[in-house]
Amino acid sequence: MSLVISVEKTQNPKEKPDPSSLGFGQVFTDHMFVMDYTEGKGWHDPKIVPYGPMEFEPSTMIFHYGQAIFEGLKAYKTKEGKVLLFRPQKNMERINISNERLCIPEIDTDFALEALKALIKLEKDWIPEAEGTSLYIRPFIIATDPFLGVRPSLTYKFIIILSPVGAYYKEGINPVKIYVESDYVRAVRGGIGYAKTPGNYACSLKSQVEANKKGYTQVLWLDGVEKKYVEEVGTMNVFFNIDNEVITPSLEGSILAGVTRDSTIELLKSWGVKVTERKITIEELYDAHAKGTLIEAFGTGTAAVISPIGELSWNDNVIKINDGKIGSLSSKIYETLTGIQYGKVEDKFGWTVEV
């Protein structure tokens, strides 16, 4: 793509937040990337501009019909001061997978990555340096026609915003208690579950809130058809170590193909650990637990990398996994992935991209 990114620098740079008090997704950097799409013209006018509010007609389609997709990835600063991205091409490719399902025009993934790098270069000083901190990157596309008819929009905005975020595990990794959701359904085959699109998250809120009220951190989603196959945990993919075989639900259309999921599978294979992608029922997990073969369970995602599961509650049957402690495989995956991301562990896979 021969588009040139115009750059308008802010006249009012903000003060950087205190690195020790960083949360998630609350503070944004000085600039953002914006590119427009117009039917017949394609994607045009890519620009980096000061971060700030944008004007939208109240009739804008995104407010009414949710035609949108997003991504989430991070930039990490190494102790040598290099800036690394972790498999950003995968996120750019997933944008187009989501776009296809949501009837949003395809983007040029190479150009999008170039735009992302240009933005991060400009905002380099915003990447926090304290242990475990990073710069969260949120690319997203929204439908912008000021029109109330139900059809794909003819105009869109592709926006990238950046947010310095604190360490996910400030006080060490503590396994979480998970509620197995038997009533609410996140997604079903034939729906939008494999796309990273607002509707999936809107749909998940109620179950999440109710699980929190019952004292659980997240929910484990079951399939929408038979309510017996395990799908995802919260907004993460999920893995189970049963008798030293690591099993993760296969991608059947209702599950997001996570980048950390894929990296975890690759990593385990490289260690000679048996990894299987297949359908797995909640009953099988409980049976394995009864037999003493359910060794570890954990979620994988960009935010936490690895989130060990210490307890499951399914129809009032509570089981404890690995005595509520983090398992050795979970620890090793966490240390290796974060090590690669921060440039502390050799990247044999060629996953990191320097900005």
- For a second copy, give the closer residue by CB, 197 or 341: 197
- For a second copy, give the closer residue by CB, 42 or 199: 199
Strand partners, 236: 233
Min dist CB 28 to a second copy, Å, is 6
Min dist CB 103 to a second copy, Å, is 5
Min dist CB 156 to a second copy, Å, is 12
Q: State the burial class of residue 114 (Cβ atoms within 10 Å of its Cβ: 0-12, 13-18, 19+).
A: middle
Write down the H helix ranges in 227-327: 259-270, 282-291
- For a second copy, give the closer residue by CB, 195 or 326: 195
Min dist CB 102 to a second copy, Å, is 6
Min dist CB 44 to a second copy, Å, is 19
- For a second copy, give the closer residue by CB, 44 or 151: 151
Task: Report the interface residues with a second copy, using CB under 8 A.
Answer: 24-26, 28, 32, 51-59, 62-68, 70, 101-103, 136, 138, 140, 142, 146-152, 159, 161, 163, 183-192, 197-206, 208-209, 224-225, 227, 235
Q: Is the dihedral of CA 215, 168, 120, 20 positive or negative?
A: positive
- For a second copy, give the closer residue by CB, 13 or 25: 25
- For a second copy, give the closer residue by CB, 227 or 332: 227
Min dist CB 243 to a second copy, Å, is 32
**Sole residue written with tokens 């905005």:** 157
Q: State the burial class of residue 180 (Cβ atoms within 10 Å of its Cβ: 0-12, 13-18, 19+).
A: buried
- The rounded distance, in Å, linking the Cα atoms of 24 and 309 is 21
- For a second copy, give the closer residue by CB, 59 or 328: 59
Write down the H helix ranges in 150-246: 198-213
Contact 299, 164 (CB under 8 A): no
Largest pairwise CA distance in the chain: 64
Min dist CB 285 to a second copy, Å, is 20
- Within a 10 A sphere around the Cβ of 279, how many other Cβ atoms? 15
- Within a 10 A sphere around the Cβ of 229, how many other Cβ atoms? 22
